[in-house]
Amino acid sequence: MPYPSSMNKEGWGVYRVVPWHMHGIYRTEAEADAEATKVGLQYTVAFGISNALTGGFKLLTAPILPRLRGSA
């Protein structure tokens, strides 16, 4: 489920570059990937922060999750 569009949010963005369209920001990469698949090949998924006033999206480094104990 995407974040409300009236707020600046950090998360997984689904966007198209040309022409620019910010489709949504999602809490998980899996949610964003599923939505990008629905809307078409021209959309990209990346981690970043949205700007509610401008409709822009700034790419950020995705958070690194710690390794689970016992995983290879």
Count the neighbouring beta carbons within 10 Å of the beta carbon of residue 14: 25
**The pLDDT of residue 4:** 54
**The pLDDT of residue 67:** 62
Give me the residues paired with residue 11 across strands.
Answer: 48
Question: Which SS3 state, helix, strand or coil, does residue 19 take?
Answer: coil
Dig out the tokens for 2 from the structure. Answer: 């995407």
Give yes or no for a contact between 29 and 22, defined as CB atoms under 8 angstroms apart: no
Rg (CA), the chain: 13
pLDDT digits (tens, 9 = 90+) for 14-62: 999 999 999 999 999 999 999 999 999 999 999 999 887 888 899 998 8
**The pLDDT of residue 12:** 93
**The pLDDT of residue 61:** 83
CA–CA dist 10, 49 (Å, integer): 4
